[in-house]
Amino acid sequence: MNYLLPILGVLLSFVFVYLVKPKNKENFKLLLAFSGAFLLALTLFELFPDVYQHADSKTIGLFVMLGILLQIFLEFFSKGAEHGHIHGDSKSTKFPWLLFVSLSIHSFLEGFPIEGHDTIIYGILIHKIPIAIILSIFLLGSRMKLKKAIFFIVLFSLMTPLGTFITANFAFTTQYYVPITALVIGMFLHISTVILFESSEGHKFNLRKIIAIIMGIVIAYYL
């Protein structure tokens, strides 16, 4: 399931967009708010306690900060697709390599902690679904050929399982598991907090979003 769920989450999201053809990305803000809170809570409940047991606090803190910086750097190329924003050229017919590479690096790295933390797969899955939907809306709404869009989505769906597979089957990853996990924590912290801040809509009170955020935290706590 650790390999299958991320693939299904992305591919089924693409199929949903292809069949339903939703036009308004605003309708997914509640799902984004829930996913941001859920991912942040699982990161704090599951990943943080584990890494601090295996290395000194300054080393862990350093890699967490590097993860935040890495995610900020990747977003220069992905244009914020990891938290629900894509500002690419919808009129272009070219394959968006920069978007693909930046999203793939992010997805590949987030696959590493799945092997040691079964519950984090659900946080990654819930995070991937709204992102895959918004990404699919962009790809299918562009002038890119359908086969290129499918190629993009299929490769993208394989990146997280690839990270999990390498962690499970290559011995050298054991030596670097803790720093890589701390790096991923930093990436998750940046993405989830940006999602939560952006979902506030100019700091206006929105009861539905508050409820979605609380639900994300509560469900993550009881997993």
Let me know if residue 50 belongs to a domain.
yes
Q: What DSSP state is assigned to residue 25? A: G
Let me know if residue 142 belongs to a domain.
yes
* Distance, C-alpha 192 to centroid of its chain: 9
DSSP string, 147-160: HHHHHHHHHHHHHH
Residues 6+ apart with CB under 8 A from 110: 124, 160, 163, 184, 187, 188
Task: Return the closest-CA partner of residue 18 out of 147, 159, 158, 209.
Answer: 147
Cβ pair 28, 84 in contact under 8 A? yes
Let me know if residue 180 belongs to a domain.
yes
Let me know if residue 182 belongs to a domain.
yes
CA distance 61 to 158: 29
Q: Given this model, what pLDDT does residue 22 score? A: 80
Let me know if residue 18 belongs to a domain.
no
Q: What DSSP state is assigned to residue 203? A: T
How many domains does the chain contain in total?
Answer: 1
Q: How many CB atoms lie within 10 A of CB 219?
A: 17
Q: How many CA atoms lie within 13 A of 152 on its CB side?
A: 24
Buried b (16+ CB within 10 A) or exposed e, 130-151: bbbbbbbbbbbebebeeeebee
Let me know if residue 19 belongs to a domain.
no
pLDDT along the chain (223 residues), means of 10: 90 93 72 91 91 87 95 85 65 77 92 84 90 87 87 94 91 86 94 80 72 92 88
The CA distances from residue 83 to 19, 58, 128, 172, in Å, are 23, 28, 10, 31
Let me know if residue 68 belongs to a domain.
yes
Cβ pair 129, 35 in contact under 8 A? yes
Let me know if residue 21 belongs to a domain.
no
Residue 197: give the domain boundaries.
4-13+27-84+91-222
- Element (DSSP H or E) covering residue 179: helix 172-198
Q: Given this model, what pLDDT does residue 215 score? A: 94
